[in-house]
Amino acid sequence: MLTLTRTPLIPIGLHLGLRTATIAQLTGTADRLELRTIAQCRLPFVEAASPHESEQAVADALRRMVIEHRLTGRKVVGCLTADELFIETVRLRQLPHDEIVKQIPAVAAERLPYPMADAEVRYLLAGEVKQDNVSKQEVILIATPREAIHRRLRLLEHAGLNPVGIDIEPCAWLRCLHRASHSTATTRTAYLFCGETTSTVMFTEGSRPLFMKSFSIGGRAFDTAVAQSLDGDLETAANMRAEVFAEDTLNGEDDIHRAVIDALRPSFDALVSEFELCLRYYKVTFRGRPPEGLVLCGSESAPWFAEYLGDRVGMKSHTVNPIENLHLASAMPRLIGNPGRWSTALGLALKRIP
């Protein structure tokens, strides 16, 4: 008798940004993962559209994307982006885990910018810290309005997809990059994820976040800065900036490169200042174990940008290609451009691998 073995199919990872949708689908097992499909498309912008009309336009674009790339199955893991999250570090008394769980709602209610009744709250235990020689528990509080989750689920369902999970963007890209970097469970790493609208700083020990903070500096702010500096329209500025960020190195003799970098210096200064504030807090809180390096990731990463940031903050810095350690399906086209843009979608696809 001939027995056919079906390759396990893993749900689609779908990352929705402000202007782009990115999908990734894997097959195989944790020991041998194969990248079956990966793709990115621009999302439609409907001027003066109502929220319902905008949602429908995005759902239609996702439906076409799934069909065009011949994705198998409709199960999907989506995520909430960093700008949809409330993230704050809190410090509690060192208590058993079940006692900490009981404290979280009251702690969140004091800090959330919206009613606790409207929020979905989660937390990450960062570890034990010392405050005035007293042991405390550092906790990363994460919350979002329930309506944000319902809106995302509704959008995915309107696109003909079957959501089987909703993650958060920082945990998704960390899952992917930790796996791709082969770091150990005790390796301490600094991450700077630079996305379309928001950047997130994270310090980790292995795959465990020790600190997390997001701020509103990202690709859209970069494009606006270039447009204002060159007195041009936003679309032209975005294309110019994308051209520069697609390069591994900068060309000082290129007029476009010089113009874009000059326009972005204030934004880069703001990004460095935010990172240094986070690093200062981390060093005071988690003494004795500085990060071993800085990983620049996200849709707005580039090797030259990583080198620039590393020089500014005094750390060894690099980018990570999240696709390098995956087997590629024979039908996969050659992937061109910034590999950092795939990390969140791949992390979402990895979420449901046992």
pLDDT tens for 127-172 read 989 888 889 999 999 999 999 999 999 999 999 999 999 999 999 9
Single out the residue of 49, 52, 123, 57 nearest to residue 85, CA to CA.
123
User: For residues 288 and 210, is the Cβ–Cβ distance under 8 A?
Assistant: no
Q: Which residues pair with 144 in a beta bridge?
A: 120
Distance CA 18, CA 54 (A): 12
d(CA 306, CA 132): 36
| Residue 214: its H or E element | strand 208-215
Torsion of CA 43, 49, 52, 54, to 10 degrees: 0
- Give the Cα separation of 338 and 303 in Å (integer): 9
Residue 343 confidence (pLDDT): 96
Candidates 294, 298, 220, 328; CA nearest to 264 is 220
- Give yes or no for a contact between 143 and 85, defined as CB atoms under 8 angstroms apart: yes
Tokens 């994307």 correspond to: 65
Q: Which pLDDT does position 29 carry in this prediction?
A: 79
Q: Hey, what amino acid is at 95?
A: L
Can you spell out the DSSP letters for 262-278? Answer: HHHHHHHHHHHHHHHHH
Q: Residue 335: what pLDDT?
A: 66
Look at residue 4 in the predicted model and tell me its pLDDT. 40
The per-residue pLDDT for 27 is 87
Find out whether 111 and 90 touch, Cβ atoms under 8 Å. yes
CA distances from 99 to 90, 104, 142 (A): 15, 9, 18
Query: What does the DSSP 8-state code read for residue 232?
Result: -
CB 140 within 8 A of CB 92: no
- Residue 136 in contact with residue 93, Cβ under 8 Å? yes
Q: Yes or no: say if 126 and 140 are a contact pair by the CB < 8 Å rule.
A: yes
Domains of the chain: 12-83+146-184+322-350 (3.30.420.40), 85-145 (3.30.1490.300), 219-317 (3.30.420.40)
Q: Which positions of the chain have pLDDT values less than 50? A: 1-6
For residue range 170-220, list pLDDT tens digits in order: 999 999 999 888 778 889 999 999 999 999 999 999 999 999 999 999 999
How far lies 353's CA from each of 8, 10, 29, 194, in Å? Answer: 10, 7, 7, 26
Give the number of other CB atoms < 10 A from CB of residue 255. Answer: 8
Q: What are the structure tokens assigned to 192, written together? A: 């700077």
Report the C-alpha gap between 173 and 287 in whole angstroms.
Answer: 26
Phi, psi torsion values for 234, nearest 5 degrees: -65, -40
